[in-house]
Homo-oligomer: A and B are copies of this chain.
Amino acid sequence: MSPVTVAIVGATGETGRSIVDALLQSPTDFGITALSRPSSMEKPENQKLREGGINVVAYDVHGPLEKLVDILTGVDVVISAVSYAGISDQIPLARAAKEAGVKRFVPSAYAPTTAPNGAVEMRDRDVFNYIKELHLPYTFIDVGWWYQGFIPRLPSGRTEYARFPNPFGDNPVMGDGNVIIALADLRDAGRYIARIIVDPRTLNKMVYAYTETMTANQIFDQAERNSEESVERQYVSETKLHAMIAEAQEVVKNKGASPVDILKLHMAQYQYSIGIKDQSSPEYADYLGYLSSKDLYPDFKAISFSDFMKDALDGKLRPLYS
């Protein structure tokens, strides 16, 4: 059998790395092309990809369409793993994929499910609707909240190496912390994706590939059991969260808002959607029409949150955004 050809945008980002690792380790024979901004071709991250046997190709999203079509011709699956800043770059990418006859387009998502009402602005419906207007074969993949976003600050400081700054506090809990959240290890995200993209059942479907369902309180309780330390929690009330969203919206409205400001807004909206409105639970995803990884891949050996915490405590995690 000839390899399944995959082109990935954003291969050096957080989700992109997880996906590339999984494609390389998959029993499926994947032929992988990473599409890189022309100006980034010689960056060390791309050198690393080349060493891993990945074809790195210069790709200018703002260049002529025919060039994009040429690059994508013969590609079976296009995976977009762009960050929120590159969301709208997916429009020309999708158009080129359609013209090139790509068999499956996977837009960037890989997050908890949310209501499709624009309340989480980084969940751009325009791209998804454009894909549908094109009648482009797609799979939309969400993976729940990443475990990596729930590494607690501990009195011992043992987990500091793997944490990244959180605008909501050291160990924030939205509302009363009793709303179910779907979760997965970012390291598993790619492994789920590697199975989903070659699965005929998932064509033109939304898929929820999550591992655990836990409340914020249960997550920190588990972290306490693993660490034998106490996780001091900061409860963020719905009112406070609303105020933070409103404030972040004000900042973003002003010209010159930084990417960090925008990310802060999106994160606040996400926290509200997940922690207050219960929009990441498998039950809600099912209501929205998602297929579940639990049904599709009952044999999947996923990393539990407890095992993730052990890795965090043992210094085995790679810090995100590093």
Q: Which residues of A contact B (CB under 8 A)?
A: 115-119, 129-130, 132-133, 135, 204-205, 278, 284, 287-289
Q: How far is the CA of A133 from the CA of B120 in the complex (A)?
A: 12
A43 to chain B, nearest CB (A): 36
Q: How far is the CA of A117 from the CA of B119 in the complex (A)?
A: 18
| Residue from A129, A284, A288 with most neighbouring chain B CB atoms (10 Å) | A129
A115-B132, A205-B289 given; name 15 further pairs at CB < 8 Å.
A115-B129, A115-B133, A116-B132, A116-B133, A117-B129, A117-B130, A118-B129, A119-B133, A132-B287, A132-B288, A135-B278, A135-B284, A204-B287, A204-B289, A289-B289
A110 to chain B, nearest CB (A): 20
Q: How far is the CA of A278 from the CA of B119 in the complex (A)?
A: 31
- In the bound complex, do residue B129 and residue A116 qualify as a contact, i.e. CB atoms below 8 Å apart? yes
| Residue from A118, A132, A284 with most neighbouring chain B CB atoms (10 Å) | A132
5 interchain pairs, CB-CB under 8 A: A115-B133, A116-B132, A117-B130, A118-B129, A132-B288
The chain B residue with its CB closest to the CB of A138 is B287
Q: How far is the CA of A310 from the CA of B132 in the complex (A)?
A: 38
B residues less than 8 Å from A205 (CB atoms) = 289
B residues less than 8 Å from A118 (CB atoms) = 129
The chain B residue with its CB closest to the CB of A130 is B117
A169 to chain B, nearest CB (A): 27
